[in-house]
A and B are shown apart, each in its own frame.
Chain A
Amino acid sequence: VIQRERAIVGLAWISPWLLGFLFFLAAPIAMSLYYSLTDYSILESPVFVGLENYARLWSDPTFWTVLKNTLLYAAVMVPASTMLALALAVLLNQQPPGWKLARAIIFLPTLLPAAAAAMAWLWLLNGDAGLLNRVLTPLLAMLSLKAPAWLQSHVWAMPAIMIVALWQVGQSVIIYQAALREVPQSLLEAASIDGMGPWTRFRHVTLPMISPVVLFNVIIGCIGALQVFVFPFIMTGGGPGTATYFYSMYLYDNGFMFGPQMGYACALAWVQMALVALLTFGLLRLSKSKVHYRAG
């Protein structure tokens, strides 16, 4: 009786969260699954169409374009941001002069609202008057090359978005820095005594010791990269053409702009979720032999 009473009291205490979860998360998730099986324009009641929305994905060339763009973005961004963040964290961990200021500068961009940062980068990447090209133009001229019109060129627009995203790598740097401090000094000293150089020590001692943190950051990075939206939405609108048109943008367009076709947008969302789940599962499987968890 006492246990049941305790359970009821416990449930009562967490009921605000439970109700919130049911109404604002579980119910919309279930409804989006249902809507993905319907033709639903928001203004009209949904008509059940079975798997038609999912079947349409196969023959939709824009779906394949945005999927390709998103996977390419993730394939470049996840390793690039991981390596950059790790390199910066290792550098900061050496505590060179001014490292605290450097850490603050690296972390600062993550505090800025993405929309404001995107607007600032629009100016920095301006092909004609942007700061980046002002610096690059004389340097490239020596090699008889021209600075690109970053956001207008279908070749350079994607790298430009990646550069902006890499600029916000500060949060990962802080996490890696914390992880690096947890690496036992005794192991590093033992490795030094055994004759290991700095790179070998990093490769065979530090990296295995922080591998759970690397895995965490890679998974979070993958999820973020597969959902990329704000920077391309504000800076290029997906253009020029479809050069920076990503999955979440196409989903949004279908859900609110094209018709709207909320049923199709829900199907896109479920495929995106499946993709994220598959990738996370794959990474966890792959990491089994590579990630070392410390006991205790």
Chain B
Amino acid sequence: VQITYWEKWTGHEALAMQRVVDDFNQSQSRVFVRFLSMTMIEQKAMIAIAGGNPPDVVGLYNKNLRLFAEAGAILPLGELAGRHTLTSEHYADAIWRLCTLRPRRNAEDTIDREELFGLPNTCSTMALYYNRELVPRPPLTIAELDDMARRLTTPARGGETAAQLGFVPTEPGWWPHVWGYFFGASMYDEASDRATAADPANVRAYEWVQSFPRRFGVESMLNFQSGLGSYSSAQQPLLDGRVAMCLHGPFLVNVIKQFKPDFPFGVAPFPVDTIEPDDANPVGLVEADVLAIPSGCEHVEEAMEFMAFTQRSDIAERLAIAHAKPSPLAACSREYYASHPNPQIRVHEAIARSTRGFGYPSTRVWNEYESMLRRAFESEIWQLRRPASDVLRDVQARAQQAIDRASEKQRRRRARDASRRASLDAPARDRGPA
């Protein structure tokens, strides 16, 4: 049987997955996996599934799961995975939480318990990366971070743009929604389906963000930002000394190894404010790359067989090492730690195992909500055009509108599905028992 597997990775990450696929293909002769690496996988998978010609396995981001699951576009995997002894005990806590959800579907199909919709093949957690030559001991609290950042900031000749900043929240700027979590807030309350951007702790967090341009000047910060090198280059700001500390993922090690292998870096959980710092239970963003089986897949058993192969400890560890990411599994071998390219990978794994690890808000309008927040962050918060509290209040109101609109659409869809089912059942009832 030939099955097709679409994956979002390109470059060295795709090559590492190709090796896993090759190993699976050589390990048995019944199933052959055809691996296709592509960009913009959400859109392509969506169109393929809607068109009735999906791949057998698709590699999504965990933040895509709710949309796909609620639309019935991917299959629940609990029972299938259970047959391969893939249960919660096999995975790190925060990772398992990202792969399971309670989809809000139609009246009859409502799943009133958490259901597994994806299996993680790799994961990432975000932590504080710092230059050990400049930062002998990582900060535990935001106050300490501020203090160090101030001391590590040096103005350029002429004083127009800083030559080096201790820390800047916009480097690399990929997660503008996370700051409130380090102050004990969140962006969304799943239980009540409410946006919580204007939570007082979030306001405090974004006021802290605004303290940077306030301290150094908006124009000066913008010029500094625009002069920073790109992520995958020797001019990566931490490597070339433009910043001393930044929030980053474990994959930064790939850049360090490639461009400056001797760079003395350290990794620590990102500092917190108001809540207690705890290295054993750190706060941090957790993401997972997940394998899912699309609805309409022709070879479900074979797809699961391949997915189960990727969940083997040795395979998952090998892939994590190749990607320089933490393992999504509950336990790792000694060899794994010995050969991992990131000597500080345990920090990332502690976040993945922490009860305070947080994922992207589990709402299907997250992309829209995130876009609102990102735009408000870039323009209004970072450029000090309005107070953070006002901006966040507006974002929350608009995000809530989007959430309510999505709920209303689902309600309407449920009503339509119910009436369709009723009209289909009616003739059967009229005919009576055969």
Contact = CB atoms under 8 A, between A and B. Distances in A.
Interface string A119-155: 0000000111110000000000000001011111110
Contacts of A257: 367-368, 371
Chain A interface helix/strand/loop/mixed = loop
A164 B265 CA distance: 39
B146 interface: no
Contacts of B383: 153-154, 240-241
A47 interface: yes
Nearest to B394: A61
Nearest to B47: A42
Contacts of A43: 46, 49-50, 67-68, 71-73
A146 B220 CA distance: 10
Interface of B: 43, 46-47, 49-50, 67-68, 71-73, 160-161, 219, 222-228, 364-365, 367-368, 371, 374-376, 378-380, 382-383, 385, 398, 402, 406, 409, 412-413, 416
Given A240-B378, A241-B380, A258-B371, A127 B226 contact: yes
A239 interface: yes
Contact of A239 (B50, B226, B379, B398): B379
Chain B interface helix/strand/loop/mixed = helix
A136 to B, nearest CB: 12
Given A43-B73, A130-B226, A239-B378, 20 more contacts: A41-B409, A42-B47, A43-B49, A126-B227, A128-B228, A129-B227, A149-B223, A149-B225, A152-B223, A152-B225, A154-B383, A239-B375, A239-B379, A240-B378, A240-B379, A241-B375, A245-B375, A253-B368, A259-B67, A259-B367
A145 to B, nearest CB: 11
A259 B368 CA distance: 7
Given A42-B46, A47-B409, A259-B367, A241 B226 contact: no
Interface of A: 39, 41-44, 47, 49, 61, 126-130, 146, 148-154, 238-243, 245, 253, 256-260
Given A152-B225, A152-B226, A239-B375, A39 B412 contact: yes
A115 B222 CA distance: 24
Given A61-B398, A128-B227, A258-B367, A47 B379 contact: no
Given A39-B409, A42-B47, A128 B71 contact: no
B41 to A, nearest CB: 12
